[in-house]
Structure 1
């Protein structure tokens, strides 16, 4: 219950639902206890008067007495039926309070988890896979809801029924009550033992379910690669292995759970037998009536489902605790990317790196070493280097996806950690190397970056990114849906839509992270010419492995293995005859070869 205590704040929030639910449970239990008493009265009425009835045989008084008996039994039957209807009505109200409460908590909990996911830094998503994240917010929350709904409902029903019924049974006959309740301690010990096994196997199932979800998510995301390499059968076989592991763990749990119902029903049957045995002896002695035995048998049967549900409820609680433990692991994860002073202001766009070093916390890879450069407002900087040289890491530090390991990053003279994170990122337009488009229309994908993007802004951004013509060639134009991750568009079209999305928000700082890698040289030159207008008045960082993209920039920085090896203008670097010129000559030779 330690892990589940996290949910107490929600139980307090919906305390009126819970309080009304308890009230309705108590009333419904009253309406199932009263009929047993009516049965006792009816049987005792018949038992006490049956000899008198027989003594009036062949007399008119016997018929009159029969009619009186029949009317009395009919009245008792009618009252019992009324009690059953009233109990049904209040059971309905129980579900309308407690089960509804569980659904409301489920809604709140999912929103809390999703909101918390959104607040966590990029490093969190590098450490955890998507399938596991999805499984926790769906499967785990569903299991927690079962604890908040059926588990609490049946648990409260059991507690209140025992609190009301057991003392009343003792008040009637202590010995008979003891015989009826003898199996219950045995049942409790058995449940405690079996639930320890259930708890362990439930956690194993959750881990297996997360692994299965992760595998399926990756397979569907990479379906193009799977089909291209004709690995469908291998994928199916691996899924079968993962699914079989989940099946075996589920069957192991089911085998343990299968012990509950035979065990419980056997013990309840034993209670009934002991009740009849002990009660019959006392009827013979004259201390009890047949009505008392019938009443106690009904009480034993009333306890049958609550006691039977005890095992099921215990299993739900154990699985919910395992699920909440997994949820708490993420909910207790804190975001270390926070603002120290919460500065909110419109940026000018001056960027400074001073002796910046960075080591990725999840992998330990040293990506940057003693990086120092500056870009004035409205200027452009090209960062050139081979794959793995640390180019994209610089973009991540500017948008504060990570904090530096050493040194400092400044914007407009203030260290970046002083700025409000949302305010900072809202003034940065970022085009990632790995383009991601949402399964929506092209218009909505371009307008995604800003809450104020109207049709005119979207169209202008599409023209600036040289994708307007492609969009208008589609039958539905800007209303064309791009499919999951933009799968219906070519690589170049996706990159240009991504550029348009960044431009549409009119950012103070624009970062292009190898944004033209999927377009040919001709299209690249067209986009670069359009970018000249876009870059005016805003600080621009162009990250690329192509030297052709660097021609637009006022300054160029050449990275190699996380270090700056050269910096200057295009002409200055060509004159040095170093790494930049070597890379330039290679790429120009390759371009000329392709043109031939």
Structure 2
């Protein structure tokens, strides 16, 4: 149970509710023990009446009294059982809630490299299925464990006090039952772990298929995807069936051995009654009830073992991610004021997952309020510069400085709150268009949202929808075209009104006229803001204060549009090619 020690902090948090739950569980089991002894007394009263020891009215009075006690004890046991579930099971739900929040919060802290190495389906499965298995340990396992312990502590001594020989024979098959169920549970644990791992694989496959449905349809590969799913489904069926076959032994074995215990009670008890070793046949009825009361607790020993083993396996999978350290850490707790000066000083950066060196010893400065455009071929390292400014990665060597301070010595939240980023692949949520724009500033009014939508030249498109700004977007914004998604993302960044704008080729899906209008609006908005624009188009870069041209991770040209256009090189060639293409 080494991995499950992680839950101890939650048990400490809810210790009082757990303590109340344990006390209620014990009380509920004690009340349930009243019924068998009063069934015995009821049978004895009938025997005494048949033997003319007591009168009919006395027998009726005694039976009525015993029945009322039995009914009252049953009702009280039921009440406390209800309260038991309302405490212990509720605590398990609280722990599930806290653990999901802990895992999700940790997911958000982890760096981009983590998400490149792990699949979304596996992340989803650990925060859903695995945590659900852990909840079974934190709730039902504790509840039934206390029930079992209470019954054994109270019931077994009581049985030996009333009829030692009969108790010994009655309890004889129960250890065998427990050992068998324990062995079955070990096999169940191994096979249920395989089922959990398969569910992660299936979740990943289906999530990727649904996300890429447009590609699947465009290439007409539905039959191939169906065939792959069929193979996965057959694997899942075989894995689940192997688990089901073992589970199938669980209850038959329990019923068989409990049946044997009942036979021992009837046979041995009957012989003892005939021989006069026990006074009343009611003792036999009482022991039959005891056996049936012990049935589930004895069987549950193996079942609890299975729950704990499954929870241990699931918590181990959860802990693997919880122990993963984010490569980007907030080293400064005090908020930092960001003005917008940016400097790259001999920066080299290599991606850990691919070992590709994206930037090679580059240096440049951007003054607060300046607009700098970054051009270059695909894979030249343009987007990497923006990622390093936002500190999504840390440099391999060299320094990135904001306002003369290395980014590692800035408060990470302050840094990112001062940045409005528009990625190349615009990501929108399955929510209304208004809420997607409001993501940049949750306190913004509708008028402010409309204003930035107009600046991003997407207002007319939104007004064309039936529900306008209340239009619900499909997953990842699939309802909108590529250009509309980019412009909604630009509106989101403008609404944030940050100190630094990072535009990563965010106008690639719009026409040149719309691009020109947006750029003019952005120029007005970002007059006092530091702006970095990554682009493949000279039209997006020509009005910038400075243009940086990258090639294979190195700066090959730097200057204004007029300066770079006056000399032969990559920029002039690109400008002439795009100018002739536009004409």
Q: Could you tell me the TM-score, scaled by structure 1's length?
A: 0.93
Alpha-carbon deviation of 1:49? 5.4
Contact 2:49–2:56 (CA under 8 A) maintained in structure 1 = no
The residue that corresponds to 1:348 in the other structure is 339
Between 406-415 and 342-351, report the one with greater CA deviation: 342-351
Deviation of 1:517 (Å) = 0.7
* 2:174 paired with 1:180: no
Kept after mapping to 2: 8 A contact 1:202/1:322: no
Question: Which residues in structure 2 correspond to 1:492-571 (within 5 Å)?
Answer: 492-571=483-562
Which is further off, 280-289 or 547-556? 280-289
2:114 to 119, 124, 142: 124
Name the residue aligned to 1:60: none
Cα displacement string for residues 454-509 of structure 1 (whole angstroms, at most 9, x for unaligned residues): 33432332222222232233343333333322222221111111111111111111
1:303-344, Cα deviation, whole Å (9 max, x unpaired): 012223334333332222222221111222222312333352
Q: Given the alignment of the two structures, is residue 70 of structure 1 paired with residue 60 of structure 2, yes or no? A: yes
How far does residue 539 in structure 1 lie from its aligned partner after superposition? Answer: 0.8
Match for residue 295 of structure 2 among 304, 308, 315 = 304
CA RMSD between the two structures = 2.0
The yes-or-no answer on 1:24 pairing with 2:24 is yes
Q: Do the aligned partners of residues 472 and 44 (structure 1) sit closer, same or farther apart at CA in structure 2, a change above 3 Å counting?
A: closer
2:181·2:299 contact (CA, 8 Å) conserved in 1? no
The corresponding residue for 1:4 is: 4
- Whether the 8 Å CA contact 2:178–2:299 is kept in 1: the answer is no
Partner of 1:577: 568
The match for 2:224 is 234
Counterpart of 2:309 in structure 1 is 318
Match of 1:47 in 2: 47
Out of 210, 221, 226, the position equivalent to 1:220 is 210
Residue 138 in 1 paired to residue 128 in 2?
yes
Report if the CA contact (8 A) 1:369-1:563 is conserved. Answer: yes
Q: Check if 1:84 corresponds to 2:82.
A: no
**1:203 correspondence with 2:196:** no
Kindly state the Cα deviation for residue 444 of structure 1 after the two structures are TM-superposed.
Answer: 1.9
The answer to whether the aligner puts 1:13 opposite 2:17 as a matched pair is no
Quote how far apart the aligned CAs of 1:451 are: 3.4
Shift of the alpha carbon at 1:418?
0.8
| 2:374 counterpart of 1:383 | yes
Deviation at 1:384, TM superposition (A): 0.7
Bigger drift between 25-34 and 278-287 goes to: 278-287
Please say if residues 356 and 371 of structure 1, whose CA atoms lie closer than 8 Å, have aligned partners that are also in contact: yes
- Runs of 5+ unmatched residues, structure 1: 54-63
Shift of 1:50: 3.1
1:168 corresponds to 2:146:
no
Q: Give the C-alpha shift of residue 249 in structure 1.
A: 1.1
Which deviates more from structure 2 when the two are superposed, residues 299-308 or residues 477-486? Answer: 477-486
Deviates more, 1:345-354 or 1:177-186: 177-186
Measure, in 1, the Cα distance between the counterparts of 2:225 and 2:486: 30
- Report the Cα offset of residue 69 of structure 1: 2.0
* Secondary structure in 2 matching 1:449: coil
Give the structure 1 partner of residue 138 of structure 2. Answer: 148
Q: Is the 8 A contact 1:343 1:418 kept in 2?
A: no
Q: CA shift at 1:100, angstroms?
A: 1.6
Q: 1:272 and 2:262 equivalent? A: yes
Is contact 2:49–2:55 with CA below 8 Å preserved after alignment?
A: no
Deviation sequence 1:50-98 (CA, Å, 0-9, x none): 3346xxxxxxxxxx82332233223222321222222111111111111
Q: What is the TM-score with the length of structure 2 in the denominator?
A: 0.95
Supply the distance in 1 between the matched residues of 2:62 and 2:40 (Cα, whole angstroms).
Answer: 13
Q: CA deviation at 1:302?
A: 0.8
| Structure 1 position 554, deviation (Å) | 1.4
Is contact 1:102-1:148 (8 Å) kept? yes
Which residue of structure 1 lines up, in the alignment, with residue 444 of structure 2? 453
User: Does the 8 Å CA contact 1:265/1:308 hold for their aligned counterparts?
Assistant: no
Residue number in structure 2 paired with 1:259: 249
Q: Which moved more, 1:566-575 or 1:321-330?
A: 566-575
